[in-house]
Amino acid sequence: MSVGIIQERLATYGCHSTLEEEQALREITQEVILAGLARTDLFGQAGFQGGTCLRIFHSLNRFSEDMDFALEAPDPAFRLAPYLDRVRQELRVFGYEVEIDDRSRAGAAVQQAFVKDDSVGKLLRLEYRPRTGPLRKLRIKLEVDTNPPSGASFVMPVLDFPFPAAVRSFDLPSLFAGKIHALLCRNYLKGRDWYDFVWYTARRTPINHGLLSSALDQQGPWKGQAPKTNNAWCVERLRGLIQQHDWEQARRDVQRFVKSHELPSLQHWSRDFFMQQCAKLA
């Protein structure tokens, strides 16, 4: 059992609260899951995407809860269950005794499962263990889109922990396209989406418009309309959302996912701030 490796990794985070320690342990667990999946054939047919991908491979300064994947091409016969067996085996090596709740349904476009664990924390020396009550159970959602929009581009970064593993991932323009799709189509305000938007715009990341157009045609208000997006098209629609949103609510959503020294930067969030960020796309 390699619990010591988990303990050493946790020490590198320099946590200062129970919440930060929980977030760090979740991220370490995500990395073990990724490494285990890299020992299967999953990345021959799918790519890693979403906020956790941005966090692990591009140093996004916020923690992320879920692990999102998408097939390269539609495959209604894809099943997540065989990969979950490998996840369980890999985690067991590092001291986890996980519960896996596979909620996938045959024929569903998104295959979904939850990995839950309350065992490994009992084996670790936690600096901020709760003084009363049990440790909160780790909960990580895995989703695989089996009917993805076309147009994604991929890269193959190498994960260093817990061992070298090649993880096929969406490239940055494709990740940004996915984020723009979420911003335009999500029917509720999610501050983490806008945190990521700031990250992308600060780096002048280009948008994979082929992927974005395909995604909008598949799902959301522009479904079936075959929109042809460009940066100006995105700016016009994002500005409308920026005018409507409650930025105090957006800040509250993000706060628990960033370390304490990041919190002052959230005070800049306002309509004017996001209008300025949006202008970086023009």
Asked whether the predicted pLDDT for residue 56 surpasses 80, the reply is yes
Query: Residues 46, 52, 56, 60: what is their CA dihedral angle, to the nearest 10 degrees?
Result: 130
Closest CA to 167 of 22, 15, 49: 49
- In angstroms, the CA 213 to CA 139 distance is 33
How many helices (H) and strands (E) the chain has is answered by 12, 9
pLDDT band for position 282 (50/70/90)? confident
What pLDDT does 6 receive? 93
Name the one residue in this structure whose structure tokens are 């995105």.
Answer: 234
- In angstroms, the CA 90 to CA 36 distance is 6
Report, as an integer, the average pLDDT of 45-71: 97
What pLDDT does 43 receive? 98
Per-residue pLDDT of 7-54, as tens digits, reads: 999 999 999 888 899 999 999 999 999 999 999 999 999 999 999 999
What pLDDT does 128 receive? 82
Per-residue pLDDT of 109-165, as tens digits, reads: 999 999 999 888 788 888 888 766 677 889 999 999 999 999 999 999 999 999 999
Q: Using CB atoms within 10 A of its CB, is residue 147 exposed (0-12), middle (13-18) or buried (19+)?
A: middle
Give the list of residues 6+ apart from residue 252 with CB closer than 8 angstroms, or none. Answer: 191
Report, as an integer, the average pLDDT of 79-107: 91
What pLDDT does 107 receive? 77
Residue 14: how many CA atoms within 13 Å on its side-chain side? 3
pTM of the shown model:
0.95
Asked whether the predicted pLDDT for residue 1 surpasses 70, the reply is no
Cross-strand partners of 112: 143
- In angstroms, the CA 35 to CA 164 distance is 8
What pLDDT does 119 receive? 84
Asked whether the predicted pLDDT for residue 78 surpasses 60, the reply is yes
All structural domains of the chain with their residue ranges: 1-170, 171-282
- In angstroms, the CA 50 to CA 142 distance is 11
Q: Which 8-state DSSP code applies to residue 43? A: G
pLDDT band for position 105 (50/70/90)? confident
Whether 226 and 212 have beta carbons less than 8 Å apart is answered as no
1-170: CATH superfamily: JHP933, nucleotidyltransferase-like core domain (3.10.450.620)
Per-residue pLDDT of 235-271, as tens digits, reads: 999 999 999 999 999 999 999 999 888 999 999 999 9
